[in-house]
Structure formats: C-alpha cells, structure tokens
Homo-oligomer: A and B are copies of this chain.
Amino acid sequence: MAAMKWWGWGHEGVEFTHEDKPALGPFILEAIGVDVRSRGAAPLRFDQLEIPDPALPGDLWEALEQAVSPEFVSLDRLDRLVHARGKSLRDLVWQRAGELPRVPDAVVRPSSEDEVAAILEAAMRFDAVVIPFGGGSSISGSLEAPAVETRPVISVDLERLNKVLEIDADSRLARVQAGVFGPDLEQQLAARGYTFGHFPDSFTHSTLGGWIATRSSGMQSDRYGDIADMTKGLRVVTPSGTLVTRPLPATSTGPSVREMVLGSEGRLGIITEATVHVRRIPDKRVILGYLFPTFSAALVAMRELAASEHSVSVTRVSDANETQFSFAMRVMPSLADKLQSRALRVFLSRKLGWDLNEMCLSFIGYEGSEQHVAAQRRGVGKLVKRHGGLCIGSGPGALYDQKKFDIPYIRDFLLDRGAAGDVSETATTWSNLKPLYEAVTKAASGAFASVGVQGYLMCHLSHSYHAGACLYFTFAFKATSPAAMEAEYEVVKSAIQQAFVDNGATLSHHHAVGTEHAEWLEQDISAPGVAMLEALFNGTDPGQHLNPGKIVGTNHRAGAPVRAARAD
C-alpha cells in the first residue's frame, strides 16, 4: 500500500474532476464564486521544500535497526514528510505552502508485535517519541509531533501488520492485525465469505488500528455498529508491557480498558491486533433513494425509523443544500434524466406542492436475506410515505455507493482553485437535531459574513441511533486571498465547532480530537472529564513518549509555534 500524496488526498495521479459533471462548474460558481476552469493555486514542488535532516542519535538508530532490521528504518525525506501530518484542511494548506511541521526523524515499519515492543523499548530507553501511523488519513491533527518537540520523533508505520490471522466462524469474530487497510481487510474476509462492514469515507486510505484509535464510524453503522461496538479483543504494546483484552461479548471488570484504548490516538500504546465482529456477506444488499419535501420532514422520518421495528443498514438524509450539490455531481445521464426530468419536477411541485428548493435526497440501505430485505423495504416505504417522502429507486443509491470514497479528493480540487472546503461532524439527540442544525447554519453564515467570503454550508444525517443521530456538515468558501485562507478557515471552522458544543452536541462524532478539536474538549466532557483523561495518560506514560500533546495536553495546536516563528 503506497502512502498518500504529501500534499493531498489519495495516491499521486488520482484526482477529482468536474469535467464529466456538466452541472458542477455552474453550481460551484454560483455557490462560492469559483470558476472551476481556473486552476490558480498549485502546491509547491517537492524539490522546493526545506525538509530538515533527521536528528537520530546513533545508539537509537542502531536500536531501531536491531528492532526491525535496517531496511525498515527509513530516513528518506519524502517518506518522513508523508508521515509528518495527516490530511486536515489545515495540514493540506500548510503542506502545499511548504510550511512543514516537526518532521519525524525516522519512519520504522515493524512486521510483528515483538518488533513493535522493541521499537517502544528503544524509544523509552533513548528518550524518543513514538507516533503510530496507519493510513495517515487523520483530519484532526492526530499524527503531528509537537512543534516544540526536541526529542527524536519516530513514526511507527504499521502497514506490514496487515493480515487476517484467524476467523472464528461460530463466534463471528476475526483476529486481525492493526495495520490492514480497508480494502485489503474486506478482500481477505470476502475470500472466506465474510465482511467487516466498516466503510468510513476514508476507507481506501485508513486502517483497522487507525479506526480503533480514533473511534471511527462507517456508513453502514446502523447495521454493523460503530468501531467501538465491533471491536472486542485488543492487543496494545504499552510502556508496561502488552495489554491484552479478551474478545468478550460483555464484561463487568471495572471501567472498560477496551474503551480506554478506543479513541486513545496512540497515547496509551500501539495497537497491534484486534478481534472484531464479522458477518457473513449478505445475500442481498440494496440502497434505495428517497426524496422528502423538507429536511424537517426527513429528520422526523429517520427518528421514527430508529424507533420502529424495522432494521436497516444505512440512514442518510441530505439537507436542501447538499441535495442541490448531489444533483450537480451527477455523471450518468440515466440518473440525470430521472432526477431532472421535467415530468418529475412538475409532478413534485405542481401535484405535490413541493418547494423544489427545499427538497431533500435520502438514502436508506437494506441488507440480509431476500425475504428480510423485501419486508424491510415494504415497511420503510410506508413509513417514508407517511412523511411525504417518495422512493426514487436503486439508481441513485448505487451511484452513491460507488462514488462515496471520492469525496475527500474535492478538498484538493478546491484548494487548486483558491477555495477551502472541509467538514465538521457531530452527534446529538433526536430532539436537538433541528435546533442544532439551525444554530450551526446561523454560526456558519455569521462566520462567512464576518470574514467577507461567499460561503456554502451543507449537511447530512449520516448515522442513526436509539437516542439521536450524527449530523455531518460540509462547508466551502473562496478565500479573499491565498494568504488569508488559513485565518478565514479558522474563523469558519471554529464557529461551527463552537456551535456544536454550545448547543448540546459533541465536538466530533467520529473524527476524534487530535490537536485540532482539543480546545473544545473541556466544553464537551467537562473539566473533571479532562482531568480523568489526563490521569490516565500521565499515569500510563509518565515520560510522555507516546504521541504527546494529542487529545489533552499543553500543546493543543501543534503547528502554532512554527507558524509564529515563520511570521517573525
């Protein structure tokens, strides 16, 4: 698995394009005033970057080479650069501009838990810092060493720990190494008739260990659960030895150590292996598209669906803005025909009285036996109808399913054109969804206005639970100037995050804390909650060798001091 671009999402040569999407250019021009034909803001070339030489003391270097053999201790400049950060919008802006962070001094690639333990032992012995690295897809600043870090920094890339070790068919559990990427994991399982069923947007470029370390959620969580539900056994190399939690269905052994590792972002140790839920590949799988007259109507329908006896695999509803964006993204003429057909629009507006500007696109997924899927479709169809919704068949859902992992590329596409695009997602109770949505909309509008940009905000409900749901916001704007983008982004992103915690929602549903969300943590989990996390981290890793500064700590904005220095 080759690493991602040092300056953007995905592999070199793979990019998002508007050229096969006739309506997208006009849409973007109207939404944020960007002409997609004018690519004006390229990243620096690699040879223009000033990448510092590695500062790796000889005895540490030797110990690392003993731990994993010399060929798997890399001091290569590009390798180190790729491992220096994740893929947050801020990361992309800085990387493209050559504003580099504290680049790790070495990238090591262990092939076994013993090798991971030897790396950690060496790091502790020679007072170095270790940062575990999966796919490098973090958008919360979880992978960057503190700018002020003077100790050697070692990025531990787990890509060689990529095997499904064992499947327990009776227990529907698989024992899997932590460094396996999404597609590889599904392929190894599919060869034996199983699926893990965890499909986050980052799926193609993220790993099992990364999902666990950040409390990831996949698109089919309504059926499969979040990563926290699916992960049972864990093996984690820690400063006091290898933590082993058994693959138990449930246990009452005090505060859950398993739940401490989930979301720990490398601060407690390096996850090497997990025993996770798997399921037989279902006979039937379909995602149906639905249209609702308004976002409010769709939210109520999803709430009733969650409270009903129906079982579905996906619940997703775009608000009106995101619905317009989805329509503008269409490639295939058959879908375009269907959605745009004058007949349908006339029917919806004249016969049903819909305001087409308020219309919302929804996807609901079904999985299982033919009979089960048929029964759920029927039942859900009636529920949708009661809320004024309309089924538009499986075409849009199939297209969504096929294109869903392309979305992260759009940020690079926009940056190439001087515009910022990013996401903020949260979760709250059903009763608070609409008030929260309105508060965030207002906060974003205010932020766009305050920095004088034409912004666009859109949103979808992406995961449903008993008591509430995830709202996933996407925003974009054209910066007033390239130099102003970062500050303007900061204002908009902060306004949205602040609206989350000010209105009873969480700072993130599944993107973790890292450094970029850390300033809102106390407002989310309260000061005693932060104190408990600090007690856990400081007691487990008193020397701060494990990915210091993430989640809690004194260095919430890892990049800030470097930027300040450069501004002088």
| A residues whose Cβ falls under 8 Å from a Cβ of B | 168-173, 214-217, 226, 228, 232, 236, 238, 240-257, 259-265, 268-269, 277, 303, 307, 309, 311, 368-369, 372, 427-432, 463, 465-470, 504-513, 517, 521, 524-529, 531-536, 538-540, 551-552
Do the beta carbons of B255 and A431 come within 8 Å of each other? no
Residue of B nearest to A552 (CB): B254
Do the beta carbons of B532 and A535 come within 8 Å of each other? no
Do the beta carbons of B536 and A532 come within 8 Å of each other? yes
A-B contact pairs, 5 of them (CB 8 A): A244-B529, A249-B463, A252-B506, A252-B510, A535-B535
Do the beta carbons of B539 and A243 come within 8 Å of each other? no
- Inter-chain CA distance A527–B517, complex, in Å, is 32
Enumerate chain B residues within 8 angstroms of A508, measured Cβ to Cβ: 251-253
Do the beta carbons of B254 and A506 come within 8 Å of each other? no
Do the beta carbons of B533 and A429 come within 8 Å of each other? no
- Inter-chain CA distance A216–B252, complex, in Å, is 7
Enumerate chain B residues within 8 angstroms of A268, measured Cβ to Cβ: 255, 532
- Shortest C-beta distance, A383 to chain B (Å), equals 13
Do the beta carbons of A254 and B540 come within 8 Å of each other? no
Do the beta carbons of A513 and B252 come within 8 Å of each other? yes
Q: A246-B524, A252-B263, A256-B263 are in contact. List 10 more A-B contacts (CB 8 A).
A: A216-B252, A238-B528, A244-B526, A246-B504, A253-B508, A253-B525, A254-B552, A532-B536, A535-B535, A536-B539
Do the beta carbons of B250 and A470 come within 8 Å of each other? yes
Known contacts A427-B248, A512-B252; A372/B309 CB under 8 A: yes
- Inter-chain CA distance A246–B534, complex, in Å, is 19
Known contacts A248-B428, A254-B551; A243/B532 CB under 8 A: yes
Q: Which of A172, A238, A246, A467 has the most CB of B within 10 A?
A: A467
- Shortest C-beta distance, A256 to chain B (Å), equals 4
Task: Identify A531's interface contact among B467, B529, B540, CB under 8 A.
Answer: B540
- Inter-chain CA distance A226–B368, complex, in Å, is 25
- Shortest C-beta distance, A201 to chain B (Å), equals 14
Enumerate chain B residues within 8 angstroms of A427, measured Cβ to Cβ: 248-251
Do the beta carbons of A240 and B527 come within 8 Å of each other? yes
Q: Which of A466, A509, A510, A513 has the most CB of B within 10 A?
A: A466
Enumerate chain B residues within 8 angstroms of A528, measured Cβ to Cβ: 236, 238, 240-244, 269
- Inter-chain CA distance A465–B250, complex, in Å, is 8
- Inter-chain CA distance A510–B465, complex, in Å, is 24
Task: Identify A429's interface contact among B249, B265, B311, B511, CB under 8 A.
Answer: B249
- Inter-chain CA distance A1–B216, complex, in Å, is 44
Enumerate chain B residues within 8 angstroms of A368, measured Cβ to Cβ: 309
Known contacts A170-B431, A172-B467, A532-B540; A525/B257 CB under 8 A: yes
Enumerate chain B residues within 8 angstroms of A248, measured Cβ to Cβ: 427-429, 468, 505-506
- Shortest C-beta distance, A239 to chain B (Å), equals 8
- Inter-chain CA distance A465–B247, complex, in Å, is 12
Q: Report the 6 A-B pairs with minimum CB-CB distance, sorted nearest first.
A: A535-B539, A249-B465, A259-B259, A215-B252, A249-B468, A171-B429
Known contacts A506-B253, A540-B535; A529/B307 CB under 8 A: no
- Inter-chain CA distance A465–B509, complex, in Å, is 25
Enumerate chain B residues within 8 angstroms of A263, measured Cβ to Cβ: 252-256
Do the beta carbons of A259 and B255 come within 8 Å of each other? yes
- Inter-chain CA distance A265–B526, complex, in Å, is 21
Do the beta carbons of A511 and B173 come within 8 Å of each other? no
- Shortest C-beta distance, A315 to chain B (Å), equals 12
Do the beta carbons of B260 and A255 come within 8 Å of each other? yes
Do the beta carbons of B255 and A506 come within 8 Å of each other? no
Do the beta carbons of A241 and B512 come within 8 Å of each other? no
Known contacts A173-B467, A429-B168, A468-B171; A526/B241 CB under 8 A: yes
Do the beta carbons of B510 and A250 come within 8 Å of each other? yes
- Inter-chain CA distance A517–B463, complex, in Å, is 38
Enumerate chain B residues within 8 angstroms of A303, measured Cβ to Cβ: 170
Known contacts A430-B171, A538-B539; A217/B264 CB under 8 A: no
- Shortest C-beta distance, A269 to chain B (Å), equals 8
- Shortest C-beta distance, A440 to chain B (Å), equals 16
Do the beta carbons of A534 and B539 come within 8 Å of each other? yes
Known contacts A171-B431, A511-B252, A539-B534; A243/B529 CB under 8 A: yes
Enumerate chain B residues within 8 angstroms of A171, measured Cβ to Cβ: 429-432, 467-468
- Inter-chain CA distance A467–B170, complex, in Å, is 8
Known contacts A263-B255, A309-B369, A524-B246; A170/B536 CB under 8 A: no
- Inter-chain CA distance A236–B429, complex, in Å, is 21
Residue of B nearest to A310 (CB): B372
Residue of B nearest to A527 (CB): B241
Enumerate chain B residues within 8 angstroms of A506, measured Cβ to Cβ: 246, 248, 251-253
Do the beta carbons of A525 and B245 come within 8 Å of each other? yes
Known contacts A467-B171, A539-B534; A250/B226 CB under 8 A: yes
Enumerate chain B residues within 8 angstroms of A527, measured Cβ to Cβ: 240-241
Enumerate chain B residues within 8 angstroms of A232, measured Cβ to Cβ: 467
- Inter-chain CA distance A23–B164, complex, in Å, is 54
Do the beta carbons of B240 and A170 come within 8 Å of each other? no
